[in-house]
Chain A
């Protein structure tokens, strides 16, 4: 009963490959109609959409590595029952990293200053204040730091899963791998603090609005990716459970994941609001300009839908205890949260790149389908490669009797 081997249901395989195919066709169509068009805005749209999606899907996959590390360090038992799922998601970070890296570096090395304004020749000359920025915002630093970080993320994602699988074949009662995993987790958290929790969102996203700055920006991006990552894990647990796997994962575990979705939706709102309120209150033009286009301009709709999907819905729907234990409700909220945070990333990227010419059309939707298809096919494939239960984990028995 505990030693379950996951087999990819045929329907899932077809769905994921169809979505992936839609994505590839969309991408090709995008190349011909948008990238090769003479309209600057179409070209911008092409790159902005790829940038937003590749970064978003990379970060929500990376969230699994973070969740594994954090719970390993905290010695949480509740996650052990389904930790093979975040492990599988974490181990595909390298694919997402390659895609995001390719997109980002292509933008930078083709000197696409319509996306990153700081790439423009003579950017410094236009504005003396930018001279300093260019120590940070320059092609070489961008490339080197991006490659180092992507490499480390990918490596840790693979390593944590390897260690966990290695434990399966360890002698019973051996805790060596357990503590090794503990140490690697600490290493990842350190890397994470210096990359996603600080430098990377400045470099990849905040620099789209090259003049604008906010110290909160990276933590806010982190919160967004964390809560989406948790929701993605929730969807995988429920899917595998529905197909008869993970029998030992019960309402208590689901409830706990639900609590995280609930709590970190509020946490995201806390960071979002702190950033917004302090800028609004101080009312300094250099800072408020960021919200001007979002709150009053063409992005008004996204501004409000962002709050509704990411705050109002989770807090109201997930507040009652029974809702966190109802599989339909948590699935619904997980989808709401993922959509909401996709929109959050959308409104981070689009205003600075395509301005008022935003679209949610065939290209945006097609690319999203592609990424979803890619993640589903990669993760489901990874899940078949190892038993769904980490047999020798010293916390396995605790997780079986876990009460949320």
Chain B
């Protein structure tokens, strides 16, 4: 009878969150006024099953569990699966780490703080159309044969670019990509072959690289090359026709040294130049849309600072101490002689890391053709069908119902929020921590282990009195007849 009452009073606007004792709104509230894209929070198993396309194999099952909402109140963590839609169609976006802000009861969850954190993981990656702009260092140093190698640095680059896997990455099946190659030394970067050539298939790409890719001579105007590629090459009308709003321009910068514009340049002289470039890139990136370029950098050689982390460099706070990476501020980049300058020993991975970080890409430092090939393969842009957004905050904030707000900060505007209603008396099993310290989905088997061990203890206590009573009587000899003296003598 009670169940009839309960069922009659249950609402259909909330659903239980699997493996927890909490409930969640079936439909998250999408802020239509502030959204260009609809940010849909997936709250029901049916939605997650649909987006992973069935639960037939273990991988799909894992994706399904990643998609379902999860709340670990002990760890103060919440996980939600979200997707983006435009006109009721799926809209794929690239890696959204650092592009999503989360609010809890209208207060922003600070990313990377001691008590709070946010993590975004993309799922179901898809390849999109890309225009690759390769900016290859053509300075005199690319003619150097490193110790133990019979090939010049430019030979290694050529070998890497001609690797079958790299060609597959630039021209994958089913997607129409284009490649434009420029080399740079001093002055304006030059298109490979002397005039702008847009390479659209493997054959022309292969022959063009084989025929024209050669080192020249001169200084290394690295920063100018990036600026030129970003603002001049991509703005050319031939290139603009390729960028149809669904194509991602991707700049790949390759160098074997430092930005070097004069004979007396030191790493200190590069500080204002790099600062200027980074500011310019930031301006470009602030207006992120589908056709906003990505910048990847590839270094060939030994890194100046192996443990450099670009995230630690605050905006506008670039110093010579940072850029010189522990070397003397006055050390010349290109000193007379063969081993006197910084670029004779190192490559400026610090500049490369910072440029890639601002350009939302990645930096690679490799020493051989194989490593370079791997780096080139990585630059193929990937977009994701849906995302797993996790955040943690003070666990005490989850001791009543709460509202989670999600906002996409870049690419397009998208705002949504959902209410979560935890149980006031009990919680489900907590998850284990993954390698990065985030809680994973708990299972009922943990509670079964508590049940069995608890039952074991209680059953033991139930018979403990009888065991002690009989044990004591056994020790006192009251359970068995003592042998008499006569029988002992006998």
Partners in one complex: no
